[in-house]
Amino acid sequence: MNKLKVALVQQSLRQNRDETIAATVAAIREAAAQGAQLVTLQELHTGSYFCQTEDTDCFEMAESIPGPSTELFGALARELGIVLVTSLFERRAPGLYHNTAVVLDRDGSIAGTYRKMHIPDDPAFYEKFYFTPGDLGFEPVQTSLGKLGVLVCWDQWYPEAARLMALAGAELLIYPTAIGWDPRDSDAEKKRQQDAWITIQRAHAVANGIPVLSVNRVGFEADPSGVGAGIQFWGSSFVAGPQGEFLAHAGQEEELLVVEVDRRRSEDVRRIWPFLRDRRIDAYQDLVRRYRD
């Protein structure tokens, strides 16, 4: 199956969780109606991006896996015959929580999970308060459509994560994301940040010779504490081919991207750009050091 039709659901927050999930379900149904076989949702898509503040009440939003969301979206995946990449706030045990991507196969079963490995702790992105770093490693999820290298948001800045997924046989790199601007930033700074975000992910496609799917939230979400200025999520979800070329690119409004990916091109590109062949694996020992003093 060389040709694969993929969909990215770029969505804004609704008034409450039920309305947000209903809008997501409607978008998934539309994607399937347009022939999508693989549908990817944005980071923490069932509710708000709650990490703008540190609030212990937010832990009440976490859920087990399997749990209510995997049951709902699993049933939808089975009904529509699609592979669905979801993103959940996982309650693993009392006091132990993760930012977890769950991949649901076409029969509705959980094909695999990935727990976010790189956890930021920056103004308006206080994720270390909520999420324990992942412990499942960089292992692709085997599905009926192939091996999916699922990573999450902050992971997208690390070429090591993309490379390890590719070395483990990932056929696609998928990044559910929640990233945006501080509204107080200058227009020039906003452009630099967004350009950097797009550039590094396209570079992962180039360096590894495989497509990249990046799906981001969109719209303004206020800081519930009132301390910060909130986040304007910039959307701009995209699909890049194995040479980093844009196959589809969303704007800064709600949008459903549906596009065909030719996976055969990964083989063709790796033959002319054999980066994996020419890697000097005998000389990379210092990569496991924090810094060379």
Which three-class secondary structure state does DSSP give residue 72? helix
Interatomic CA distance for residues 278 and 275, integer angstroms: 5
Name the token pair of 161. 């994560």
Which two three-digit tokens encode residue 193?
């940040």
Residue found under tokens 């790796």: 270
* Structure tokens that stand for 151 in this block: 């990573």
List active site positions.
43, 116, 153
List strands edge to edge, sheet with 180-181.
180-181, 231-234, 218-221
Pairwise CA distance, residues 126 & 221, whole Å: 15
Cα 13–Cα 202–Cα 133 angle in degrees, nearest 5? 60
The two structure tokens encoding residue 17: 């969780």
User: Among positive and negative, which fits the CA dihedral 16, 174, 72, 236?
Assistant: positive
Computed from CA positions of residues 63, 68, 71, 72, in that sequence, does the dihedral angle turn out positive or negative?
A: negative
Contacts of 92 (CB under 8 A, 6+ apart): 64, 98, 132
Which segments within the chain are labelled E, that is strand? Answer: 3-10, 38-41, 83-93, 96-104, 110-115, 121-122, 125-126, 141-143, 146-150, 172-177, 180-181, 212-216, 218-221, 231-234, 238-240, 246-249, 255-262
